[in-house]
Structure 1
Amino acid sequence: MRAFITIDGKFTDEFDYGRIHPTILYADKGIVLDEDAYDIGIGEEHRDIVKQSFNAMVQAKSRLTTPPKDIDWKSTGIKWKELRQLILDKHEPIKDSFFCGMGNKLQFRDSQLAEQIMLRFAKQDIPVLP
């Protein structure tokens, strides 16, 4: 839908800050994340499930020994424990960021970044749609 938005007759551009939460977590460790954070070797078709699982693991305050109810992890063909471990193995440098309930803090930092971007463009009189 955004591809069809125009302002003063000009089409808009959309910039996606994909994998923002893993990028922030790695940056906090002084590491540049230069690969797909959600590619854990189980196939591109399961990327969204890995992303949802990653975010659930960052949000959770416990080890998530049982899978979150709203994630269709069974379609991956592996057990939840294996999926969880593959994510942990992939993200060894930020392992301390999982299961400590920091998801809301990341969302807040994400919103602060978006605000900074919008304010910067506003100073240049360039409209930005969140």
Structure 2
Amino acid sequence: MRAFIALLAGTIFGAGLALSGMVDPARVRGFLDLFGTWDATLAFVMAGALLPMAIAWRLQPRLPRAASGDHFALPSTRRIDVPLAVGALLFGVGWGIAGLCPGPAIANLALAPLAVLPFLAAMFAGMLLHRLWAAQR
């Protein structure tokens, strides 16, 4: 059941990314180009995500567990520290350069697998480096 829920959620997420055009790196870079030909599409996608997330945050405390049967994995802290800030900076720089983040990159495996492979290789290398760095701490 857990695998089915993950597959269903991933399929809906990927379809939403494809439908909204967020798998197109040029569209994302257009959103980040504030002083050029700005493309507001991503702003509308983000705004459209606010209502469902607001509802989810209100419902979650009333639910005994997640749909998969697991407990909810919520952050234990709201503190902004150096690792969080550095991670956000690296994410933003990578997003701006490539026009992709992990969700759209994985969705692009179905649409343009060869074009997205360098990004995915870099993403997995970064995950490995983080794991090695965290193990050293």
Give the TM bin, normalised by the shorter chain. Answer: under 0.3
TM-score normalised by length of structure 2: 0.23
Which structure's residues are more often helix, by fraction?
Answer: 2
Q: Per chain length, whose mean CA-contact separation is higher, i.e. which structure has more relative contact order (CA < 8 Å, sep 6+)?
A: 2
| TM-score, normalisation: structure 1 | 0.24
